[in-house]
Structures are given as structure tokens and as C-alpha cells.
Amino acid sequence: MSDGEYDYLIKFLALGDSGVGKTSFLYQYTDGKFNNKFITTVGIDFRERRVIYNSTGPDGTTGRGQKIHLQLWDTAGQERFRSLTTAFFRDAMGFLLLFDLTNEQSFLNVRNWMSQLQIHAYCENPDVVLCGNKCDLSDQRAVSQDEARQLAEKYGITYFETSAASGQNVSEAVDVLLDLIMKRMERCVDKSWIPDGTVRANGPAGADLSDGSDRSKCAC
Amino acid sequence: MAAEKEIWQKIGEGFVQEYYNQFDNTNRMGLANLYSPNACLTWEGSPFQGREAIANKLVSLPFKRIKHIITEQDSQPTIDSCILIMVFGQLQADEDPPMAFHQVFMLKSQNGGWSCTNDVFRLGVHNIPV
């Protein structure tokens, strides 16, 4: 398959405190493995995977499968050295917000990450899936499923308990996020809200997306 | 050509060794002593001036452990008798994946010793839009 053969290029960004397992989570999703011995990810800031998205109509019929090229961006700990700037958030279409179920502080910081998102993401209510990671470490659990659910409900976002180690709910979380993005795209008639670079359409299926003429609507 | 190292190279290497040893193995507050009173630090684009502000910044970095590995370093004498040092290496904070970094120091001879007057730090992370 040549690199250009996809209908949409969609960028997701994994966020959350250092050590919650963002890199392992993405690695589990793209490679189906848990890598607890990093050799190095220098220079590798994202992972990629192709998926087929089947939209379902209201009558339950399945439409033509769309070829999606998913890019999953990882902060890889750089947030310890510098604040993540608008430039970093700018190109992401959906967000995987992770915390560590065995680390209460990482859960408390979910609020901070949500406000960062509201400031820096392309819009004030971007699509976010909240993941309580490391659910395999049940004997070390410091955050209950109930309190995590309540927080997710407060923000109106989906919550999953995931394990990058066992793979539990990893694909499910990404699938739900992709579904939210595709539904959002279908909802938008003129699609002019889509930030530059977050969705790249290839071929006739999405040719209207690459037409930037809608931007002339800007009132300034 | 296995010539004897120039004096500025020896001073530069000594400083770099001491700097990262203090950074990695102490509480980082001691790093203040390596800077001149009015030194300037630019950390990921943010400016800090003065020994105290610099030490506070370095102490407040949010990780428990850090390790720097120097890949290469280069030193030059300047026309006003200072030493310019460029360091190129990798660092690892806690259990994060290693990241590349670049750091540039200017050393000035003051009161019979060398102290750092300028320090510029950047991670070697390239978020290139694709």
C-alpha cells in the first residue's frame, strides 16, 4: 500500500502526567505489545496505524469503509522541561487523556489537563477520551472506578479503564475517539472548523475538505 | 594528530563534567555556585536572570531523577577571553524515554575561577508537522 492511499489522515495526541504510561499505551495500540524496556524513542514523536472506519447509518446499515491513517502523537515527557504550547496541541484532532490508577495525583491533574485542552486545542470542547491506565495493577489502585466515572461525566467525556501492559481496552478507547471524530465530521456541513493539518483528505471521498475557500468567511 | 588538548578544551570539559555531575547527583541547588551572580539562562525559550532565579528554575524541574549522557562537546576561546561550550547529548528523567538535548555555556574567568555567565538549553525534540 502506498503512503498516500487513505481517505483521511487524523492526528491524536496522548496527554497526561509523566509516567502514566502514554508511550506504552500508544505502543500497545500500534504494535500490540507492551514495551517496558525502552531502548530509545529519540526523534520518534508519533506512532502510526491504518484502520478502516465503517460508519453506520441510523437504520444500522454500514457504509463504505473509510481508510483512516491514524497518527498518534506522544509528548514523551517533554512536558517536564517545557510547557506544551499551542503549537503542540494545534494539529491534534482528538485527545487521549491518561492518568495512572495507582497514582492519585495524576488523577487530580486531569482537571489541569482539561483546562490546558480548553485553552490550547482547536476548539473549547474537543473530543477527549479519559483513560485510567495501569488497571492491571489492582492491588496498587488509588483511584476508584466511581470517582473516575464521575469526573468523566462532569466533563461529558467517555471513560475507560485501560492497561497498556495487558492491552485491556486500549483499542476500544482509540476506537471510541475515532468514532467521535468521524461523527463530528459528519455533523459539520461546511467543515470549515477543521484546523489546518488535523484531517487531510485524499481522493474523491473527502475532496471538499481540502478546499480552503470557506476560510474567507472569517469576519476579520 | 594527537596534539595536547588546548587549555580552553580542558576547562570546558572540566566544567561540563562538574555541571552534569551536580545536576544528576545533588539536590541541584548547588548548581547556583557554578553561575556568576548576573548570569543568564534561557531554558526552552524562557529567560531567567541571576544565580538565584536560575537555581530556582533548575531545582523546580518536575522529576525525581535525571541522568545526562554527553555525546559530544566542543569548546572555543572567544576574543574577550571567555570560553564558549556547546554540549550535545541525551537525558533521561525518571522512567521517561531518553530525549536529546543541546546546551550552550559561556564561561568567564572571575576572581581566579571560571563561572558560567550564559546558558541556553533546548530539548532536541522536533515536532515536525507531517
CATH number for the domain that contains residue A97:
3.40.50.300
Quick check: is A213 in a domain?
A: no
Task: Tell if the CB–CB gap between A77 and B62 is shorter than 8 Å.
Answer: no
Closest A-chain CA to B128: A45
Predicted TM-score (pTM) above 0.90: no
pLDDT value of position B103: 98
Please say whether the dihedral angle defined by the alpha carbons of residues A186, A189, A190 and A194, taken in this order, is positive or negative: negative
Band of pLDDT at residue B68, cut at 50, 70 and 90: very high
A172/B contact by beta carbon, under 8 A: no
Quick check: is A179 in a domain?
A: yes
pLDDT value of position A41: 41
Quick check: is A205 in a domain?
A: no
Q: Which three cell numbers stand for residue A178?
A: 475515532
User: Which residues of A are less than 8 Å from B95 in CB distance?
Assistant: 19
**Count of domains forming chain A:** 1
Quick check: is A143 in a domain?
A: yes
> Count of CB atoms within 10 A of residue B46's CB?
11
- For residue B123, the one-letter residue type is L
Among A62, A53, A73, residue whose Cα is nearest residue A8 = A53
Task: Tell if the CB–CB gap between A18 and B44 is shorter than 8 Å.
Answer: no
- Smallest Cβ–Cβ distance between B123 and the set A23, A71, A78 belongs to A78
User: Which residues of A are less than 8 Å from B123 in CB distance?
Assistant: 78, 81-82
pLDDT value of position A191: 57
pLDDT value of position A33: 72
10-residue averages of pLDDT along chain A (220 residues): 75 89 89 58 65 76 82 82 76 93 96 91 92 96 97 97 96 96 80 60 47 42
What are the angstrom distances between the C-alpha of B41 and each of A138, B37, B88, B119, B121? 44, 12, 17, 5, 8
Task: Tell if the CB–CB gap between B130 and A38 is shorter than 8 Å.
Answer: no
pLDDT value of position A176: 96
pLDDT value of position B124: 86
User: Which residues of A are less than 8 Å from B99 in CB distance?
Assistant: 42, 76-78
Q: Which three cell numbers stand for residue A75?
A: 509528548
Band of pLDDT at residue B36, cut at 50, 70 and 90: very high
CATH fold group of domain B7-123: Nuclear Transport Factor 2; Chain: A, (3.10.450)
pLDDT tens-digit readout, A89-136: 877 899 999 999 999 999 999 999 999 899 888 888 899 999 999 999
Q: Does ipTM exceed 0.85?
A: no
Distance of CA A63 to the CA centre of its chain: 23
Measure in Å the smallest separation between the Cα of A6 and chain B Cα atoms.
15
Average pLDDT over residues B71-79: 96
Residue A202 per-residue DSSP state: -
pLDDT value of position A38: 42
Closest A-chain CA to B89: A42
Domain around A62: 8-192
DSSP letter string over chain B? --PPPPHHHHHHHHHHHHHHHHHHHS-SGGGGGGEEEEEEEEETTEEEESHHHHHHHHHHSS-S-EEEEEEEEEEEE-TTS-EEEEEEEEEEETTSPPEEEEEEEEEEEETTEEEEEEEEEEE-------
Interface mutation vs chain A, best among B60, B127, B128, most A CBs within 10 Å: B127
A14-18, B70-74, B86-90, B125-129, range with the lowest pLDDT:
B125-129
Quick check: is A220 in a domain?
A: no
Quick check: is A198 in a domain?
A: no
Contact predicate B101/B93, CB 8 Å: no
Contact predicate B97/A79, CB 8 Å: no
